Amino acid sequence: MLTNSEKLYQQACQIIPGGVNSPVRAFKSVKMNPIYIKNGKGAYIYDADGNKYTDFVGSWGPLILGHADDDIVKAITDAAVLGTSFGACTEKEIELAQLITSVYPSMEMVRMVNSGTEATMSAIRLARGFTGRSKIIKFEGCYHGHADSFLIKAGSGVLTLGIPGSPGVTDGVAQDTLIATYNDIQSVEKLIDAKKGEIAALILEPVMGNAGVILPQDGFLQQLRELTAANGILLIFDEVITGFRVALGGAQQYFNIKPDLTCLGKIIGGGLPVGAFGGRRDIMEYLAPLGPVYQAGTLAGNPLAMAAGIAMVKKVSAPGFYENLEAKAQKNEAAVLSLLKRINKQFAFNRVGSMSCLFFSPGKVTSYAEAMTADTAFYAEFFKKMLNSGIYLAPSQFEASFVSSAHSDADLEHLAASMEKAIKELI
């Protein structure tokens, strides 16, 4: 007897490639078919078969307040009855821009777009236009969305010249992306020395969140800031995950680094499609219609998305919000570390604020290479056991787990107990 999720997946596979609108939702790396979510409220989601899960994915980061937050839903419905889109200027665009730039001092100006990919893609084009240079540096394991310049693998050879990471990405595009190693400043110095005067920008996730969670080692971000400034290279922080997540002011506030450009997404849309990029006024004024670098979007600054984003940013800006979230995240970390000690396992648990990752690795994870030592087969079995215990985690070892303000102490105790049961059954 097929479950409702299985029936829906079969239908989807007939008309949607792989049955999904984004590959990671296909649950391939946990070797099962995807479940279909019917609705969510607070910390919980409910699938098409009526199963309830405590959700630690939060739509991959946006739902720092949990699902269907009353204030966000009201903001969207109030906006909807006034019109869903105008393709013209609205006051809400100014309000969200003011809210963002007031907590991100490095963002003297900001442009709204509809996704994280649009934000990073546009920031790269702007950096190339502003500097007149063509090459960019990214780090192996950092994900910046699916624009061609980012779907690049580390090539062989000392220059680690990029090679296409996907069919459809041309060699011409790939050759302008150089690949460095996160937390290895020498790998960046080598590229800069080899391509003097050719590099427009260096883009990174200040805390890696797409290879699991990997923290910048002491001084790495500061060294990048100094190195890029000394070589006329724009430093771009991709804070699509970390923005409004690890602190109100994102990783740049948490680590006290001032990038030239910042990309945002996820949380600033309150669950609706929103991305943004911004930074130094002299760079942002290169954007059309003021400057020569073209960038546009029919639904950019959409009034419903702006309303959701405004409601979200106002709520997370409330005094004590991040302190309360940190207390929850610390409680979760303490439970995990206590379990690892009791079972005498060297798995790595990495956390910044309310984003974390438990790697089923043989040791610490401070680099992409170490993250790749994680046992993905073990993770797949762990994921299924957690699902059966009513816990919804990312269907991949190489993603982040998120605590929201909607998670109660009881939810965190449920997580810890389920984790202990699942791991003890598997080791």
Catalytic residue among 44, 53, 104, 143: 143
Kindly state whether residue 120 participates in binding ligand KE4, applying the rule CB under 6 A.
yes
Query: What φ, ψ does residue 357 adopt, rounded to 5°?
Result: -155, 130
| Binding segment toward ligand KE4, per CB under 6 A, in 70-78, 202-210, 252-260, 335-343 | 202-210
User: What sign has the CA pseudo-torsion 238, 258, 102, 109?
Assistant: negative
| Binding segment toward ligand KE4, per CB under 6 A, in 82-90, 234-242, 362-370, 412-420 | 234-242
Q: Using CB under 6 A, which of 5, 54, 149, 210 touches ligand KE4?
A: 210
Kindly state whether residue 117 participates in binding ligand KE4, applying the rule CB under 6 A.
yes
Kindly state whether residue 206 participates in binding ligand KE4, applying the rule CB under 6 A.
no
Closest CA to 300 of 292, 291, 313, 309: 309
Catalytic residue among 47, 69, 238, 411: 238
**Interface with ligand KE4: number of residues (CB under 6 A):** 18
Kindly state whether residue 22 participates in binding ligand KE4, applying the rule CB under 6 A.
yes
| Binding segment toward ligand KE4, per CB under 6 A, in 49-57, 111-119, 174-182, 183-191 | 111-119
Closest CA to 135 of 180, 102, 104: 180
Q: Which residue is nearest to ligand KE4 (CB)?
A: 116
Kindly state whether residue 115 participates in binding ligand KE4, applying the rule CB under 6 A.
yes
Calpha distance 231→225 (Å, rounded):
10
Q: Could you tell me if 38 and 52 are in contact, meaning their C-beta atoms sit under 8 angstroms apart? A: no
Kindly state whether residue 123 participates in binding ligand KE4, applying the rule CB under 6 A.
no
Residue count of the chain, please give it.
427
Q: Using CB under 6 A, which of 137, 241, 257, 423 touches ligand KE4?
A: 241
To which residue do tokens 């200027």 refer?
89
Q: Is 246 helix (H, G, I), strand (E, B) or coil?
A: coil
Cα distance from N-terminal residue to C-terminal residue, the chain: 32
Element (H, E) at 97: helix 91-103
Residues 128-147 that bind ligand KE4 (CB under 6 A): 143-145
Residues 6+ away with beta carbon under 8 Å from 164: 151, 152, 153, 170, 171, 173, 174
266 is catalytic: yes
Kindly state whether residue 57 participates in binding ligand KE4, applying the rule CB under 6 A.
no
Max CA pair span of the chain: 64
| Binding segment toward ligand KE4, per CB under 6 A, in 212-220, 233-241, 285-293, 347-355 | 233-241
Kindly state whether residue 205 participates in binding ligand KE4, applying the rule CB under 6 A.
yes
315 is catalytic: no
190 is catalytic: no
Using alpha carbons, list the distances in angstroms from residue 345 to 81, 192, 342, 425: 55, 40, 8, 14
User: What sign has the CA pseudo-torsion 265, 269, 275, 279?
Assistant: negative
CB of 339 to ligand KE4, least distance (A): 25
Calpha distance 206→236 (Å, rounded):
9
Q: Using CB under 6 A, which of 238, 260, 370, 411 touches ligand KE4?
A: 238
Q: Is 140 helix (H, G, I), strand (E, B) or coil?
A: coil
Q: Where in the sequence numbering do the catalytic residues fall?
A: 143, 238, 266
Which residues form the interface with ligand KE4 (CB under 6 A)? 22, 24, 60, 115-117, 120, 143-145, 205, 209-210, 238, 240-241, 265, 399
